[in-house]
Structure 1
Amino acid sequence: MTDAAQTWHPSPHDTSVRLPSGATDTHCHVFGPQAVFPYAESSSFKPADAPKEVLFALHDRMGIDRCVIVQSGCHGFDNRVVADAIAARPGRYLGIALAPPDISSDALKMLDAQGFRGLRFNYMSHLAPGADEAALRALAPRLADLGWHLQLHMEDSLIAPMSACLADLPVPVVIDHIGRIDASRGRDQPEFAALLGLLEHDHVWCKVSGAERASRQDPPYADAVPFAREIVETFPDRVLWGTDWPHPNYRAAPPDDGDLFDLLPQIAPKPALMQALLVDNPARLYGFKEAT
């Protein structure tokens, strides 16, 4: 067990935003409980438990109908914790797995049957290294055959160097958290230009989650909103949103999730943009059925 601090806000305020039917949180995590789902010994990140029941309660309170849970590095390649959460809300919850790039076809099929729809690789200095270019090129057709996608979490300085490879892959590519850009550096920074350039390719998507990470300000993270809004307005059919609950490795005290939900009308300022961001795009990429 760990004595790490809790990474989620214990009492977020209710959002004033009325979400559309079928609203989807496409990026969140579950940690433990460690007595059932122990952390990987190799993980340097060992947070306090953030079990599925707390996540479900947050979603029910805020008006989230569907969800994509992303396997966390603290659990390594043991994806049982996410599979367990998916099974508790079948059809409504799906997952993104962590696995080595040479994962067997049988293992991929097993994950697919459990409700996983993609593989994630991290390219962040505080996390285990992701797959190299050769491995990504070998893996991409195998993911495409399953109808899966590739999800990447990368330092903003890596967007430009990785763009040529990612633009050439025969599978949908999802970039996490606005490319982890630093909002304090302004609209004209080269990292944001590289992200916009990568998004010109029709198979590349972006999660406009993580405004609190891009921001260098206190809530309501106003400096990050224009970046997310520009991406949503420029590429409305290839954007996704998520809470990133329970906010692992956040720079300060856990953000109030109510603040993050309250940003949605600023990020997607028209009803059609909100519908695409929260309902239609997730349904198309992950294979959710029509809005309930």
Structure 2
Amino acid sequence: MSQSDEDDAPLCQGPDPKPRPPGYALPPGATDCHAHVIGPFQLFELQEDRSYTPPEAPLSAYRTLLDTLGLERGVVVQPSVFGTDNACTLDALAKHRNRLRGIAVIDHTVSDEALERMAGNGIRGIRLNMLYRGGVSTDHLEALAKRIERFGWHIQLLIDCRTLPILAPKLARLPVDIVVDHMGHMPASAGVGHPGFRLLLQMVRDGRTWVKLSGANRTSTAGAPYHDTIPFAHALLDADPTRLVWGSDWPHVAIDGYMANDGELLDLLKLWVPDERQRHLVLVENPARLYGFGD
């Protein structure tokens, strides 16, 4: 890689190499609904058009994370650095058909045969990344939604929900559910009263939008232990606890500064969702419905 390439897609730090368990026991069937498997690079090459260069975060390391945290299941989300080449994600799913499900990145050129193979291999949705290079734009959103509807898939959006009012009319016309990453991925300093977040809450209430309780170390403006994110989680719970899932966001790509331990983030979940019954929904029941665990 040339110096200009390094400047254009800077190397980002890896996750905490010594994850610790949370301070409470997770229920059977607990699920991490947002993680990325990256590499090994000798088998799965990064695409040139990307916003960052991650270190390897292979399947073996992700298995260790799940086991350490007490999570039985995981959802592997295709990262932007691989573009529409889903080989790394599909490889992980093939090795753990009962434990893992996946989210792919596709564009309008994907064949029906490829979609059918992905469905058979555990893919349960497609992701549109509107924040990092390497993602897919919304130009073909409606056409893609129609093509994936027959599989029961959803569309996952990495979006700053301050811009949600612009996209919302298009989303309302889609025949599939929407999943929004990282509680809307807007800075906590914007507040729960921001019009974009209020719209997200209404979309959750309307019953066709899910939200991932994740990304505190991305959205907090106060820093660790990220308590300024708690009002956002509570507002989402008030909207509808049956439409929320939790994700680690491991290996926390493109994070500057302090790297949170994943056990620390699960401890935060107990503050986000203090009621044990609601936490069971978020960790077990909701993921089983959304991703088809047990199918």
**Does TM, normalized by the shorter one, top 0.5?**
yes
The 3 A distance-change label for structure 1 pair 168 and 5 is closer
Instruction: For residue 13 of structure 2, give the secondary structure of its aligned residue in structure 1.
Output: coil
Instruction: Read off the aligned partner of 1:58 and give its amino acid letter.
Output: L
Native 8 Å contact 2:83 2:135 kept in 1: no
Between the aligned partners of 1:260 and 1:33, the Cα distance in structure 2 is 26
Q: More displaced, 68-77 or 82-91?
A: 82-91
Native 8 Å contact 2:12 2:255 kept in 1: no
Question: How many angstroms does 1:114 deviate by?
Answer: 1.5
**TM-score where L is the length of structure 2:** 0.92
Between the aligned partners of 1:127 and 1:232, the Cα distance in structure 2 is 32
| Residue of 182, 186, 199 corresponding to 1:194 | 199
Between the aligned partners of 2:206 and 2:229, the Cα distance in structure 1 is 23
Match of 2:36 in 1: 29
* Structure 1 alignment gaps of length 5 or more: none
Q: Does 1:142 align with 2:147?
A: yes
Match of 1:130 in 2: 136
| Residue of 101, 111, 118 corresponding to 1:104 | 111
Match of 1:277 in 2: 282
Between the aligned partners of 2:20 and 2:67, the Cα distance in structure 1 is 13
Match of 1:181 in 2: 186
Cα deviations by residue, 1:240-289 (Å, 9 ceiling, x for unpaired): 11000000111323221111010111111112111110111111111101
Match of 1:15 in 2: 22
Between the aligned partners of 2:156 and 2:135, the Cα distance in structure 1 is 14
Percent identity of paired positions between Structure 1 and Structure 2: 38
Instruction: For residue 263 of structure 1, give the secondary structure of its aligned residue in structure 2.
Output: helix
Q: CA RMSD in A?
A: 1.8
Instruction: Read off the aligned partner of 2:190 and give its amino acid letter.
Output: R
Cα deviations by residue, 1:141-172 (Å, 9 ceiling, x for unpaired): 22111111111111233211111111221101
Instruction: For residue 225 of structure 1, give the secondary structure of its aligned residue in structure 2.
Output: helix
Instruction: Read off the aligned partner of 1:127 and give its amino acid letter.
Output: R
Between the aligned partners of 1:63 and 1:256, the Cα distance in structure 2 is 14
Instruction: For residue 117 of structure 1, give the secondary structure of its aligned residue in structure 2.
Output: strand
The 3 A distance-change label for structure 1 pair 251 and 228 is farther
Between the aligned partners of 1:187 and 1:205, the Cα distance in structure 2 is 17
Aligned residues: 288
Instruction: For residue 252 of structure 1, give the secondary structure of its aligned residue in structure 2.
Output: coil
Native 8 Å contact 2:81 2:134 kept in 1: no
* Structure 2 alignment gaps of length 5 or more: none
